[in-house]
Every structure is written in C-alpha cells, then in structure tokens.
Structure 1
Amino acid sequence: MKKTAALTAAAILVCSAAHAATAVSIGISGWTGFAPLTLAKQAGIFEKNGLDVTIKKIPQASRHLALASGDVQCAATTVETWIVWNANGVPAIQIFQLDKSHGADGIAVRNDVSSVADLKGKTIAASAPGTSPYFFLAYILKENGLTMKDVNVVNLEPGPAAQAFVAGQNDAAMTYEPYLSTVRAAPDQGKILATTLDYPAVMDTFGCTPAFLKENPEAAKAFADSYFEALEMIKAEPEKSYGIMGADVKQSAEAFAGSAKFLEWQDKAANQTFFEGEFKSFSAKAADLLMEIGIIKTKPDLATIVDTSFIK
C-alpha cells in the first residue's frame, strides 16, 4: 500500500513538472493595439495555455534594454523597431503580428497648420529616435519632401505629448491611441493633420530573444495561440473584453472601444497574409529610411529577424 501511494505521489510530481507553466516577462506599453495581450493575461488565457506571464509597461525607447538585460524575454513593438534593435546589437525575432493602425497613430497640429509643408520650422513633440512616433514623423515628412532637419523635435512619450499639446504646448505632437483621442476631444486646441489612414506605416508585431525561442518553442506557439484566442474572446464577449482592456489604461469599456475603432487586430489568417507580402516590402522600405535618418548604420538581414513557424 505504501509502495502504491509512493508511486502515485511520484506520478503526480512528474505530471506537475511536465505541465509546469513557463514563466516569462514581456515588455509592452499602453498602446491600444497591445491590449489583447493584457486580456490574455487577465482572462486566464495565458495560464490555460501553460504560460506564467508577467507584463511590464516599458517605454518603447528603453524596451530593447530590458530585452538585452534579460529583464523581459519577449516584447511588442512596431515592425521597423525590430530592425533598429537588431541593427544596434539587440537580437530579437518577430513571431506574430499584433495589429495594424488604421488612424490610431497621428500627428496633432494647431488649427493654423493646413498641410505637412506648414510644419517646416515648427516644434513637434515626439518620442526619442528609434521609436515608432519618431519614425512615423520622419516617414510623413519624407513623403512630403521634408526631412527631420526641417523641424524641431522635443522628446516626449505619446501620453505626455498629447497632454502637453492640449495644454497649449508645442506646435504639433506625434501620438497614438488612446492618447490621440485626448486631442480629438479638444478641437479648440488643434486638429489631427494626418494619421495612418493617410500614411499606413505603423504595424506591430510580437517577438522574443533567440535564446528564449530556442529553449521554449512550445511557449512561443502558446503566445501566438493565446493572442488569437484573446481576439476570439473580444468577438464573443466585446463588452467584458473592452472593460478588462480599458481598465488597464484607465478607460471605460466604451472609451476603449472608441480607441479600438482606429486599428485592426490581426488574426491568424491575417498574420499569414501579412508576413508573405506587406511585411517584406514595408521592412525593406523602413530599413532604407532608418539608414537615411541615421538611426541605424547597417541593415540587418531582414529574413533572419522573423520566424513565422508559430502561426502555422
């Protein structure tokens, strides 16, 4: 009897070890596009799929430092930022797409600014070089025959940039949802000159360090599966989902739903289409612009900074 009990206990220990959740920390921001990751955490989807996830809110400008130090093993950021990180000595591999901005990123300007050309000589609040808002500003300017040398940039993160703008500071601000809605709600202070509807240059992906992916391929697959499950939950239980995601950024479910209208979360089918086409063309164009504005000195091999095996 004792022997049987001992064997049973041993079997339970082996089973528990086999199903032990993989502990992993991820670095994100309060950007609306990343919110399904928060939902996957809060709704128990990560846990169900064998992941013990710690979410850390880290500004994009320093997120790569957290990856390099091992403080986080995975992160969410824009496609061109992975190019910057890899070019500057922080190896990381994208494994699935999160979202595509459809008006959720933009530039707010005073009401006397009627075109991008009018930005010449203006003071614009934007995150530091190497971040999405900085890149997006450079992208908009280039598409209109201007360069970053034609404007004065004040480094502010998207939230503070929007707050400063509605408080009357600076001529323009680069920001994104949910902070862009702060500007939408204050028409007396200015207007939104252009967004990703005009310049489709902001798309986000999730990735991890090569070491984490090599050691934890099942966990990487679980991340992708969990994200897609979170999108299904949003469809099935929108009010509950928006409530959970909104609470994380101090928004009501209704306000968060309003922000979410300006982007499109990408399901598995959309992921597969994206990586076969737009991802490749945009990454090449982005790498050229990053070289031009001095963010990177050399281009990484773009084929080595993505692994789509986890979305198949």
Structure 2
Amino acid sequence: MSLLKHKFSRVIAAAAIAAGLSAPAFAQETPVAIGISGWTGFAPLTLAKEAGIFKKNGLDVTIKKIPQISRHLAIASGDIQCAATTVETWIVWNANGVAGTQLFKMDQGMGSDGIVARNSITSVADLKGKTIAASGPGTSPYFFLSWVLKKNGMSIKDIKHVTLEPAPAANAFVAGTGDLDAAVTYEPYLSLVNSKPESGKLMADSLKYPAVFDTFGCTPKFIKDNPKAAKALTESYFEALDMIKADKMKAFGIMGADVKQTAEAFEKSQSKIMWADREENMKFFNGQIQAFNAEAAPLLLETGVIKAIPANLNALFDTSFLKK
C-alpha cells in the first residue's frame, strides 16, 4: 500500500470512528416511564407511542399499566416519572407526600364514567345501605361515588363499599357475583354493562355529575431536570389529537388494540369522552380547575382520603408548557 493510500485509509477510519461515537449522542432520546390504566381517555398516549410521535419528538417512552390505587407508589419509588390520572388524585398524592405537577388536561368524562345499579333500584337515594363495588380510597371511582352521594345528601358511610377495580367491578356486576347492588366503572368496561340491560342500568354518570377530569403530570424533579422532555410530552399529546382528527379510524384501531377493541368498538367507547385540545386546556387551567378543586379538596378531607388540604392547590399544575 502506498503512503498516500495508507494516510487516506487512516483518515476514513478516523472519520468512521468519530461518526460512530457521535451518532448515539446526537440521536439520544430522553427516557421516561408513564403510568396509566386501560381507561379510554388515556389512549392518545398509547397512540403517541405506537405511531412514533413520542420518538419523533425525542422521547423514549415506556407505558406501564398500573392501577390508580397504587400508581403513586410507582412514582414514589422512581419506577415511573409521569402519570395520567384524575385532577383530585393529584391533590391526594401531593397531600400524602408524593409530589406531582400537572402539565396538561387530557380528557373529560361526558358520560364515560358511571354508577350502574340493579333494575330494582330506582334512584340514587335508593343506594343507601346497598353494597357497591368501586376502587379503593384515593381513586377516581371512589371519588366519583363520594361526589354523587354528596350531591344527593349522603356520604360513603351510608353504603357498603366493596373494593373492586373498574374491570372486575363491571364483570362481577354483570355476572351477578359478590351480592353487588351497584358498581362504579368506566369505559370501555361501562359498555359491557350497558350491553346487558338485564343485569342493571345506569344510575348516574359523569355527564350529569361532571366530576371526572383527567390530566397528565410528572414529578417536579423530572420537569426541572428535563424541561425539553416536558414540552415534548405536551406537544406529543396534541399531535396525537391531530392524528385522530386526520385519520380517526386508523387512530381508533391503534388505540383500540391496546384494550382488545376493534376500531369500531373503540369509536363507541370514546364517544362519551371529550379530549382537550390546546384551547380547551387554556380554559381549564384558567378558572375551571380552581372551581373544581375548591369542592374536591374538602370532600377528600371529609371522606378521610387526605389528612390536610395542600396549602397551595394552584402549585399542583404548570401551564408554561402549553404555549406553542
């Protein structure tokens, strides 16, 4: 080999090594683990992952299905850094020492959450003394049940509570097991109950009792250490909504597959959900969440879910990442 060729080969090799060393740094994605449930309203997060939206925006996302009742434990342990859950749950977590900051509103139940009861029960007042299945204290179903009872002059002490997650609660209610008089569940499991009118009927839902608002948030540390990732998570959600608008059946197919539904079945499940776009987010965090928290926090205190209301409820959300 000539000296010129030898030098040329060394230059090429050095360039290749340099490229190999720099490529991973250039393409590095911020890892983030997100805790959710199978709730239909959280599906845009699944869409953002499966459609490559998160990856395109520089995120290496892992989605973990964790029951709401134990999701805060996963945050506290560091197993996840972010989560989707209901607004009042952020109050509960923060009141109990698990810090979390909401970044954006995801959805609002418009009849997608409900209390189903046996056909012999004719009103919410008739639930007094009855056996009702719902998730445990600190969860959305438990809160929704407490909220509906409160609005009808009762409390959780006036019923017999059986702890069952939304899917098992719906299945047990339809199967007639557990001596249940009523159950609290949500989509897609609410559709199962509604398809079996002989088992019971819808007694109250989140359309008549607007108390189900879902938001996405992360630990303050993650947000402080990864502001670009927090912004990317927010924008990825809005891009997922854009994809739903652009090709809804394709999007429904991807989201439905995650909960073993066809695109058509998922379309039906999401019909009673309102996903929040950027404009709706700005409205929600400019008055609506404050009004809701003013009622929710005292109810959580009254039901013993929290021992004290956080000093500043407005500190539980950060709207700076909503701006384009």
Letter in 2 for 1:116: V
Q: Secondary structure at the match of 1:239?
A: helix
Change (3 A) 1:18 1:215: farther
Whole-angstrom CA distance in 1 between matches of 2:294 and 2:102: 15
Q: Equivalent residue for 1:281? A: 291
CA deviation map 1:6-33 (0-9, x unaligned): 3575366446414410111110000000
Q: Secondary structure at the match of 1:261?
A: helix
1:100 positional shift: 0.5
Aligned length: 312
Letter in 2 for 1:160: P
Whole-angstrom CA distance in 2 between matches of 1:3 and 1:208: 46
Q: Equivalent residue for 2:79? A: 71
CA deviation map 1:81-114 (0-9, x unaligned): 0000000010011001110000000000001111
Q: Does 1:52 align with 2:63?
A: no
Q: Secondary structure at the match of 2:107?
A: strand
Whole-angstrom CA distance in 1 between matches of 2:204 and 2:253: 29
Q: Secondary structure at the match of 1:205?
A: strand
Q: Does 1:122 align with 2:152?
A: no
Whole-angstrom CA distance in 2 between matches of 1:6 and 1:135: 62
Q: Secondary structure at the match of 1:193?
A: strand
Whole-angstrom CA distance in 1 between matches of 2:23 and 2:257: 36
- Gap runs ≥5 in structure 2: 1-7
1:278 positional shift: 0.6
Letter in 1 for 2:54: F
Q: Equivalent residue for 1:87? A: 95
Q: Equivalent residue for 1:302? A: 313
Whole-angstrom CA distance in 2 between matches of 1:97 and 1:6: 49
Q: Equivalent residue for 2:14? A: 6
Q: Equivalent residue for 2:4? A: none
Whole-angstrom CA distance in 1 between matches of 2:40 and 2:61: 19
Whole-angstrom CA distance in 1 between matches of 2:113 and 2:101: 24
Q: Secondary structure at the match of 2:296?
A: helix
Q: Does 1:101 align with 2:99?
A: no
Letter in 1 for 2:298: D
Q: Does 1:207 align with 2:217?
A: yes
Q: Equivalent residue for 1:260? A: 270
Q: Equivalent residue for 1:26? A: 34
Q: Equivalent residue for 1:225? A: 235
Whole-angstrom CA distance in 1 between matches of 2:218 and 2:139: 18
1:137 positional shift: 0.3
CA deviation map 1:115-144 (0-9, x unaligned): 110000000000000000000000000000
Whole-angstrom CA distance in 2 between matches of 1:258 and 1:226: 24
Which of 199, 224, 238 aligns to 2:248? It is 238
Larger radius of gyration: 2
1:287 positional shift: 0.6
Letter in 2 for 1:77: T
- Gap runs ≥5 in structure 1: none
Q: Does 1:139 align with 2:147?
A: yes
Letter in 2 for 1:42: E
Q: Equivalent residue for 2:322? A: 311
Output the aligned Cα RMSD: 1.3
